Structure 1
């Protein structure tokens, strides 16, 4: 009798095991949902990245449940080329659309693809989120639906910064009611078993969010104490600098609150267990020497990926990563073939382990010409300025939005040190810059000026030139086109392109 009980017990266990294995296979064979939380203008300033002044419980929790990348970078220093990279898996320079707010291309070159099209063709429900309300409300709460592509701009269907509407659906949400995020509206047109590819562009942390973020944080008793902020060596310690930095960090806490709504709505909807969540920023904060700059302060970004049952909790990834990798990562997760034209790597594969270098570009800003490139390894960053005669702040946005007025006044009085003066000079200090990222995290010592590092500098210069040759990155020969020895400040990209024709 006992033997028969044991026998049937074993049979039941085997049956349950087979059933479990069958269920696992079924789950593994299901295409995951994908949610991208794209945060405009943010440094890695969350608690999970070591900043203890901010309050970021939602993003910290996401990191504890997934993979945090310590060496993630933007492929460009400003919105549109960065967004273009995200949706194509290519450097904006490769497809001939590197300039911000100028010289858009009508369409992608032959053979290149848009991530959303590939997802849609594979049966995904593609959806972008937009908060209801006026423009400023959208920029502070929920999502803006911003795509901001440098190709096929078309009519701005979503808002003033939209490119072609690359998503099939636009979900209008009420940030005060998370029930509207993954239910109702356009979401009702999603088939019951259809996987989704969703995108939320969150602008809460940008410059326009600093003052509201400060107010928001004070109301909750979590405002940053400006006296506790460590002032970077490139900044002078003024009341304005401390005030702006404190407000920028309060805006980060506000971003976390908005991110939390999406994560809670995802959990409440029942989708969380089969959703790959990717959170990152497009480039550095809306601060002097950050946004529009190729120093690490301008291109080192936060990146966190969570995929239940696929990624171990609290995993730290120290490999080189870039926005350019997001498209191939999404495609591979969904079981979709990655086009050969995509230059990025699947971050969840072993391929990034063998990567030695990544690249970043800075070109025309708001139609004001410039051109610089950066090569980043785990040890060094090399920056090459093709037109050092042009200043770092040679466009209206940089002068108006990215400049500390108090530092500008100190510069005029010749009261800044050489490090602090660099941003304000009428031309760049050097044509080449080389920094040791391990020993000089603030990038204060340009090793390219040291003869002992001449060989290292030339090595990285060669790596850059080789990459440009391989990717077809052609720099406009502005001096030749204008027949000048030095390109004048204020030269327009579009005018150079007309001369080229």
Structure 2
């Protein structure tokens, strides 16, 4: 289509997504006085600002998987960062359904879905643009702007902001209580605002392209972030700071009937990423696939949801299983691995920028209490009143006056996990081991509702054990995931576990690698059986990279006790995963995280490693 010409016959809206990385709601139109976002703020004046919009995951790949599929990543098994999840052959993601409905689809350029995007877009490249479409087609175009990612935020490169004439004064920033108030941290926080200003320039450019093409009044525009700030306490943290996003929706006059249920220019309508794909399909007049789990919040049949659910699983080589539910005021979080702090002893938390600054101040004993808590085991359950405690500093979960609310939200979360067959209850190693020749989605749905209730029952023992002998029935279960969760519960138990040693020795020889690995890890940490090292070495030698990653994570968590494994790691295991990524690793997926875990294991044993910072 020639520039400056809009189709006179087009009766369906074009749809443009302008997304960016790693920023919480700090646009000027959200009331932030430090923000310099004139293009976004001007757009917001004639658009709708969503004040209750959320990513379903506080890190990119599972968030983007949810966004593009309209399915919870935990349903697909795509919730672990940079994985290669087998998905159902019948799965059609948003651009595929739109293509069938007659739309031209373009993506510029990030995918990061945790499964292959090949063949799913008309064009997905760094030159993809709606201008490449045939004349008679409406378009769905995505532009993923990466300048606000945690990398640039923490790197403080002047070249990233050379297009700016004005810069944020570090003395004017207000840091949250969980970040130390130091000159370096203020500089990083201020730089984050400067990168936002660069993003705003990109928004202005894309809106200018629409206007130049005569398409501004033919196009519904979404402007949003993929999750919270790329800083400690936000990205990777399953809390409101990690999940809440800015979201501006521009609907031209021609299509105002799609939003006639939303009065004014701001709304408290709760929306999550799982709802974006079905919403776009509704706007396009396309049929929403039955498999999609989100609900349209615009157009005919728009749904107002009662709850928004969140999840945090493996990020890099830091394994987690945490879930959340939000009702519009209260956020309930359950940690299924509370013994693991958010700020683990791992390479991802030992890199530069804000992490380096926190580590420096920690060594000097100068961290505030709220930051020090990041290094401690987590509470199993949390409840935050975001109306009165927006910075999430007061956990109300154990207060008697909130007991009924905790039970209500916990029950809602349980039901959601069971209904959608949350694959986090299987563990990454088990679900991928069972997915040979079929999708993880199909693996989970082969379980009955009752079976999933039993898995959840086992997982809920973590952090609640008063006598480790209570776990023995689960150790002897015929279901691998129940045996696995009993081991996680044992790992979290701080008392004497001598009575469970016979079961631990047996589980070290379990046929399921994830179970054997965890049993051997616990034995090294709390027992005396030298065969545990042989088991871990065997797991590190497996051909399945997913199982090797689980073993590498366990080895990293041994601290100095990993020393007997160093010769085989250095001479045989690590070389298999070495390459050029970051000058050290073979690929961006499992080999990178295996390498990172093994590098940190060596560092823990006082071996000097030239790692990427």
2:110 to 136, 141, 146: 146
User: Is 1:238 the counterpart of 2:192 in the alignment?
Assistant: no
Q: 1:193 to 1:498 in 2, by over 3 A?
A: same
How far the C-alpha of 1:127 sits from its partner, in A, is 1.2
Q: 1:42 to 1:52 in 2, by over 3 A?
A: same
User: Is 1:192 the counterpart of 2:135 in the alignment?
Assistant: yes
Q: 1:47 to 1:368 in 2, by over 3 A?
A: same
**Unaligned segments of structure 1, at least 5 residues:** 1-25, 130-144, 154-162, 174-179
In the alignment, the residues of structure 2 paired with residue 122 and residue 317 of structure 1 have an alpha-carbon distance, to the nearest angstrom, of 30
State the match for 1:340 in structure 2.
290
1:5-404 matched pairs, under 5 angstroms: 30-102=11-83, 104-106=84-86, 108-109=87-88, 111-129=90-108, 145-151=109-115, 153=116, 163-164=117-118, 166-170=120-124, 172-173=126-127, 182-183=130-131, 187=132, 190-210=133-153, 220-309=164-253, 310-311=255-256, 315-349=265-299, 354-394=304-344, 395-400=346-351, 403-404=354-355
Q: 1:301 to 1:114 in 2, by over 3 A?
A: same
In the alignment, the residues of structure 1 paired with residue 186 and residue 388 of structure 2 have an alpha-carbon distance, to the nearest angstrom, of 26
In the alignment, the residues of structure 1 paired with residue 137 and residue 129 of structure 2 have an alpha-carbon distance, to the nearest angstrom, of 17
| SS of residue matched to 2:73 | coil
| SS of residue matched to 2:68 | helix
| SS of residue matched to 1:116 | helix
1:422-501 matched pairs, under 5 angstroms: 422-425=373-376, 427-428=377-378, 430-474=379-423, 475=425, 476=427, 477=481, 478-480=484-486, 484-486=490-492, 494-495=546-547
In the alignment, the residues of structure 1 paired with residue 550 and residue 36 of structure 2 have an alpha-carbon distance, to the nearest angstrom, of 49
Deviates more, 1:244-253 or 1:445-454: 445-454
Q: 1:333 to 1:388 in 2, by over 3 A?
A: same
In the alignment, the residues of structure 1 paired with residue 288 and residue 272 of structure 2 have an alpha-carbon distance, to the nearest angstrom, of 17
Q: Deviations over 1:249-268 (max 9, x none)?
A: 11111111112111111111
Q: Verify the 8 A CA contact 2:283 2:299 in the aligned structure 1.
A: no
Aligned length, in residue pairs: 433
Q: 1:368 to 1:416 in 2, by over 3 A?
A: closer
How far the C-alpha of 1:321 sits from its partner, in A, is 0.8
Q: Deviations over 1:64-105 (max 9, x none)?
A: 121110000001111111111111001100112211123x22
Q: Deviations over 1:222-267 (max 9, x none)?
A: 2111111112111221111101100111111111111211111111
| SS of residue matched to 1:382 | strand
In the alignment, the residues of structure 2 paired with residue 482 and residue 247 of structure 1 have an alpha-carbon distance, to the nearest angstrom, of 40
State the match for 1:136 in structure 2.
none
In the alignment, the residues of structure 2 paired with residue 213 and residue 249 of structure 1 have an alpha-carbon distance, to the nearest angstrom, of 13
**Unaligned segments of structure 2, at least 5 residues:** 1-7, 428-480, 493-517, 526-535, 552-613
How far the C-alpha of 1:116 sits from its partner, in A, is 0.8
Q: Verify the 8 A CA contact 2:185 2:354 in the aligned structure 1.
A: no
Deviates more, 1:471-480 or 1:52-61: 471-480
Q: Which structure features the higher share of helix residues?
A: 2
| SS of residue matched to 1:86 | helix
How far the C-alpha of 1:451 sits from its partner, in A, is 2.6
Q: 1:284 to 1:398 in 2, by over 3 A?
A: farther
Q: Deviations over 1:302-335 (max 9, x none)?
A: 1111120134796111111111111011101110
What RMSD in Å do the two structures reach over aligned CA positions?
2.8
In the alignment, the residues of structure 2 paired with residue 219 and residue 120 of structure 1 have an alpha-carbon distance, to the nearest angstrom, of 37
* TM-score normalised according to structure 2 size: 0.66
Q: 1:350 to 1:379 in 2, by over 3 A?
A: farther
* TM-score normalised according to structure 1 size: 0.80
